[in-house]
Structure 1
């Protein structure tokens, strides 16, 4: 395990952050391209949302499988293979002319996704501990925020030329492959590989049940309620992520570039606030920060009802992003800290299934809500869900 003095000079950390950054591309590059894609294929708002849903539904299925595989055969083979598959499928999207083919390639990316961002959370749990682990999770959230700010802006600019151009950026997966191959060996804390690949892929029914019980026993009450909070946060966040570019163009009368800005600013809090998560948690404690950050995110979401001025909408989204940026690294650390190395991959899989399930359901659920009502109802519903969940998290954590 690394000490805090060594953290910023540790090349393994930067390799892990690169792995996480590629996982963020799963949505940040695609969302600004949705209006152009919808126009090119003559799609409704609900149907173009399937581009996000096809990815995340597949990822929900793949996450526990990949997490279990990483716990048995090790992390390295999983994340290196995932980088190649993810990048290749993403680049190919820019060359196809059928919407069904786009959905298929997005589903293939979903199969590779668990070896990227979810794996990076597991790797930090393997490599670091204590306050250093919280700080490392903060750096991870900050990098995902940085990618979340820059990549939608770049994608939005490229979309002004063609909706196909942003998908070429997925070629960076091959650069990340080289970095991880060079600087990220199998962590010492990870389970030792035994060459039993057939056993890991095809476990016996009794072993499968035993693995499930190990995960259940490893999840504390605190971790479980935090996972509930994460699910709600991601459910609302990705509703904003999917529909804000459409809202900016169709309701606010803004350009597609500004639609990209609305997505980018959602990552601003992760960039600015997340690196301080370890210090703030040590000073104020985790429960108040978890509750307060979720309330801030909910209030910010509901405040979108107050204006139709594009740049005020951007400012409100920036305020809401602060809550998101603080909640995420602390939640990640609560969950990973409870798990032993031999079960950590599967425990993180529970967290990531919750996140990815929320992401995949969000465009469907909020798309149906939007079809039956309005953006005002969407914002009010999302804000209320976040604030009510903050109350639940606070009630459970203060009783422990």
Structure 2
């Protein structure tokens, strides 16, 4: 596999963009979302929590993901994480219950923690020295641009309805085929007995 190919780099960058997307995409929906759940006690606080809730689960799941991916491999778990991302992320569109939406946001955070850890590990597997530093710089730039794109799209879609920006989380399913086509499981070095 040629790790310098644009397909490999683009796929890693697309998966990386999911991290920033998980946090900001629905920010424009919060005012209307708050009005929809006024009948729930402390709805304003809970709706605000829905924006930051994934961050807690990213932190918790990333710790565990690092251990699991060394045992099970990277790509199998990446595929699962991308599917869970779509399920958890779009839950705000389908679910009518605020607590269900919060559970979906937690699932979104878990999937981001896993995918983020896998991408970081794959970058370390694929690139060394200067090429790793160059890729890290590119990764930061692309994530910043993705943040601008997703917050703009989220704002545009929130004008249609507060639930509509949640559909952007289906983006992870568009990345799934590229992940299996262009990323390869690194060979593991076996310990000498």
TM-score of the two chains, using structure 2 as the length reference: 0.88
Q: Residue 21 of structure 1 contacts residue 117 of structure 1 at CA under 8 Å; is this kept in 2?
A: no
Residue in 1 aligned with 2:24?
A: 28
Equivalent residue for 1:255?
A: none
Larger radius of gyration, structure 1 or 2? Answer: 1
Are the aligned partners of 1:74 and 1:192 in contact in 2 as well (CA < 8 Å)? no
Once the two structures are TM-superposed, the CA of residue 49 in structure 1 deviates from its matched residue by: 2.1
Partner of 1:17: 13
Matched, 1:38 2:38: no
Aligned length, in residue pairs: 187
**What SS does the corresponding residue of 1:94 show, helix, strand or coil?**
helix
Give the Å deviation of 1:135: 0.8
Matches within 5 A, 1:112-131: 112-131=111-130
Q: Using the TM superposition, give the Cα deviation of residue 62 of structure 1 relative to its aligned residue in structure 2, in angstroms.
A: 1.2
Q: CA RMSD in A?
A: 2.2
How far the C-alpha of 1:98 sits from its partner, in A, is 1.2
Alignment of 1:270-285 (within 5 A): none
CA distance in 2, matches of 1:56, 1:152: 17
Q: Is the 8 A contact 2:60 2:113 kept in 1?
A: no
Q: Output one character per residue of 1:308-346: Cα deviation in whole Å (capped at 9) or x when no partner.
A: xxxxxxxxxxxxxxxxxxxxxxxxxxxxxxxxxxxxxxx
TM-aligned CA deviation for residue 173 of structure 1:
1.1
Whole-Å separation in 1 of the counterparts to 2:159 and 2:7: 37
Distance in 2 between the 1:192 and 1:74 partners? 13
Per mean C-alpha deviation after superposition, the further-off stretch among 54-63 and 93-102 is 54-63
Q: What do residues 287-315 of structure 1 show as CA deviations (whole Å, max 9, x unaligned)?
A: xxxxxxxxxxxxxxxxxxxxxxxxxxxxx
SS class of match (1:52): helix
Match of 2:97 in 1: 98
Report the Cα distance in structure 1 between the residues aligned to 2:141 and 2:77, rounded to whole angstroms. Answer: 24
CA displacement at 1:58 relative to structure 2? 2.2
Q: Which has the higher contact order (CA 8 A, sep 6+)?
A: 2
Q: What CA distance in whole angstroms lies between the structure 2 residues aligned with 1:168 and 1:57? A: 22
In structure 2, do the counterparts of structure 1 residues 99 and 175 end up closer, same or farther at CA, with 3 Å as the change threshold? same
Q: Is the 8 A contact 2:65 2:117 kept in 1?
A: no
CA distance in 2, matches of 1:185, 1:52: 33
Cα offset for 1:146? 1.3
Equivalent residue, structure 2, for 1:86: 85
- For the 8 Å contact 2:87–2:104, the answer to whether it is kept is no
For 1:236-275, list aligned pairs within 5 A: none
2: CA distance between counterparts of 1:37 and 1:119?
33
CA distance in 1, matches of 2:120, 2:140: 10
- Tell me which residue corresponds to 2:159: 160
2:178 corresponds in structure 1 to 179
* 1:56 counterpart residue number: 55
8 Å CA contact retained: 1:83, 1:115 = no
CA separation in 2, counterparts of 1:65 and 1:28?
Answer: 24
Q: Distance in 2 between matches of 1:79 and 1:161?
A: 32
Cα distance in 1 for residues equivalent to 2:113 and 2:152: 25
Which runs of no fewer than 5 residues in structure 1 stay unpaired? 194-400
8 Å contact kept, 2:23–2:55? no
Deviations 1:237-258 (A, max 9, x none): xxxxxxxxxxxxxxxxxxxxxx
Offset of residue 71 of structure 1: 1.8
- TM-score, normalization by structure 1: 0.44
> How big is the shift at 1:60?
2.1
Q: What is the CA-CA distance between 1:192 and the residue it aligns to?
A: 5.4
